[in-house]
Amino acid sequence: MINDTIAGISTAVGNSGITVIRLSGPQAFQIADGIFKGKTTVSEQKTHTIQYGKIISPHTGEAVDEVLLTKMESPRTYTREDVVEINSHGGYTIARTLLNLLYENGARPAEPGEFTKRAFLNGRIDLSQAEAVMDIIQARTQRVSKVAVKQLEGSVSKKLEDIRERLIELLAGIEVNLDYPEYDAEEVTLAQAGKTTKEIIGILDELISSFSFGKLLREGMEVVIAGRPNVGKSSLMNRLTRKNRSIVTDIPGTTRDVIEEYINIKGIPVKLVDTAGVRETADIVEQQGVERSVKAISEADFAIVMADAQELLTEEDEAILKKVQEEGKPYVLCFNKADLIKDEKKPERLKEQMPDAIFMSIAEDTGIDVLEERIFRFATENIHDMDNQVLITNTRHENHLKKSKSYLEAVYEACRAGMTLDMVALDLKAALEELGKITGHHADEDIINAIFSRFCLGK
């Protein structure tokens, strides 16, 4: 039972048209009554209605601001507690004044994510749904937001609950057989346990395999643009970002540092990294840029290796390609400046020789759509139905799924080896516990606090 009432700003701090201040807890209505004057008191106001009024300072009796106050009685609220939301004029001074009045009247400052934490503790949402709230706030593309909304609606929770119910039913049958052998209960055999376990392992495999794409959606896919100087890396960066983000000149070695920018490719958030041209150089500053370029290649999810279509692959180009291949990075080879090839038939012959390469002209804006399609195809190659498939986007969830699968594999092997049911039951319980840590059924307090500490204030 939570006995105190919290208050916090639920909108961004700063100058704005409106600021929303939220109160949640058993004394929310009484605390609001202490500073609000409207047509009726907050305590007598009908639930889920809004009324106009003024915030009055108890110290001076003067009006602080004109506001709209929303009253929501539990349990039909975000936190399943009594909630008051005050819509005041935007601005740091007004917001701070209103909050201080609420604190003086009995509320305490809300901690980061505490409203959502109360929604979890009061059973409105589970832990995976709570984490989806932050994913919605931080979503960089509409597709990411859509996946997070589905998770908030319970797509992951329902899938895991179905698995947990099957495991609980199996475990209950085993324990009845073990504890009450004299009763005429249906006997669970090792063959039955092995069959059920194998089916569930298959479901967990599907969820785990979705994580590579889910992680790309949630955190963004890192794509590095690599190549020797003056092949058009910075021009490509500017074209993809639609900004003059990188300096473009005819002088080799202009880019000295790694430049990063987020773009959206068909709903996939992509962190694009423009690097310094990789070559042997005596310039100390340029050397540092080259070292950072090599590091960026090793950290990227995908590489765009750029070369000059007029020269094809030089020794420097081949050295860069070798570096990308040694790092085991998936890549696409792009030949820029295809418009400068004088022999009209040469580009076609080159495409026949190198069918996987992309011949482009940034100056004439050709080949860019092919490159974007190649990046998108790589990101989604293991996803069969992006709109309906349940996706795992959280590293914490993936870790617990893998641990649960490991315990279930032990169960399956034990069943095949003919071991006793009591040994099988131990690993089944451990698998259930790992799944429960995702939804919060078995999560300890430190994990819960760590998750909600990453939330913003007022959420």
* pLDDT tens-place string over residues 183-236: 544 456 788 888 999 999 999 999 998 888 888 778 788 888 888 888 888 888
* Pairing of β 331-336 and β 302-308: parallel
- CB of 428 within 8 A of CB of 174? yes
Tell me the β-bridge partners of 356: none
- CB of 24 within 8 A of CB of 118? yes
Residues 401-441 pLDDT 10s: 999 999 999 999 988 888 888 888 889 999 999 999 998 88
With CA atoms as reference, report the closest residue to 306 among 328, 280, 274, 284: 274
- CB of 310 within 8 A of CB of 336? no
Instruction: Supply the pLDDT for residue 290.
Output: 53
* CATH code 1.20.120.430 region(s) in the chain: 129-210+392-453
- CB of 217 within 8 A of CB of 143? yes
> Is 270 in a helix, a strand, or coil?
strand
Residue 182 reports pLDDT greater than 60:
no
Residue 130 vs residues 133, 162, 454: alpha-carbon distances, Å:
5, 19, 11
Query: 86 versus 253: which is more confidently predicted?
Result: 86
Of 203-212, 308-317, 375-384, 410-419, the poorest mean pLDDT is in 375-384
Q: Cα-Cα-Cα-Cα dihedral of 7, 10, 11, 12, to 10°?
A: 70
Residues 267-277 pLDDT 10s: 888 888 887 65
The fold adopted by the segment(s) 217-379 is Rossmann fold (3.40.50)
Measure the CA–CA gap between 392 and 148, rounded to whole angstroms: 10
Cis peptide before 252 (omega within 30 of 0): no
Residue 444 reports pLDDT greater than 80:
no
Instruction: Supply the pLDDT for residue 241.
Output: 83
- Chain centroid, CA 311 distance in Å: 42
Name the CA radius of gyration of the chain, rounded: 29
- Chain centroid, CA 112 distance in Å: 18
Measure the CA–CA gap between 30 and 36, rounded to whole angstroms: 10
Our CA angle for 271, 277, 281, nearest 5°, is 145
Extract the runs of DSSP E, i.e. beta strands, from 266-378.
268-274, 302-308, 331-336, 358-359
Residue 161 reports pLDDT greater than 70:
yes
Q: What is the 3-state secondary structure (H, E, C) of 215-240?
A: HHHHHCEEEEEEECCCCCHHHHHHHH
Read off the amino acid at residue 169: E
Burial class (CB within 10 angstroms; exposed 0-12, middle 13-18, buried 19+) of 457: middle
- Cβ neighbors of 191 (< 8 A, separation 6 or more) are 415
Instruction: Supply the pLDDT for residue 194.
Output: 87
* CATH code 3.40.50.300 region(s) in the chain: 217-379
Q: How many CB atoms lie within 10 A of CB 149?
A: 15
CB-hemisphere CA count at 13 Å for 318?
Answer: 5
* pLDDT confidence tier of residue 450, bands split at 50, 70 and 90: confident
Extract the runs of DSSP E, i.e. beta strands, from 396-453.
none
Measure the CA–CA gap between 263 and 266, rounded to whole angstroms: 10
Residue 99 reports pLDDT greater than 50:
yes
Average pLDDT, the chain: 83
Residue 456 reports pLDDT greater than 80:
no
Burial class (CB within 10 angstroms; exposed 0-12, middle 13-18, buried 19+) of 299: exposed
Instruction: Supply the pLDDT for residue 116.
Output: 92
Instruction: Supply the pLDDT for residue 119.
Output: 92
Measure the CA–CA gap between 175 and 138, rounded to whole angstroms: 45
Measure the CA–CA gap between 159 and 430, rounded to whole angstroms: 18
Instruction: Supply the pLDDT for residue 214.
Output: 82
DSSP one-letter string for 121-140: HTTSS-HHHHHHHHHHHH--
Measure the CA–CA gap between 342 and 309, rounded to whole angstroms: 11
Measure the CA–CA gap between 446 and 181, rounded to whole angstroms: 40
* pLDDT confidence tier of residue 82, bands split at 50, 70 and 90: very high
* CATH code 3.30.1360.120 region(s) in the chain: 6-110
Question: Model's pTM, two decimal places?
Answer: 0.74
CATH number listed for the domain at residues 6-110: 3.30.1360.120
> Is 180 in a helix, a strand, or coil?
coil
Residue 442 parent element (H or E): none
Instruction: Supply the pLDDT for residue 447.
Output: 76
CATH superfamily membership of 129-210+392-453: tRNA modification GTPase MnmE domain 2 (1.20.120.430)
Query: 101 versus 382: which is more confidently predicted?
Result: 101
Mean pLDDT of the region 44-66: 94
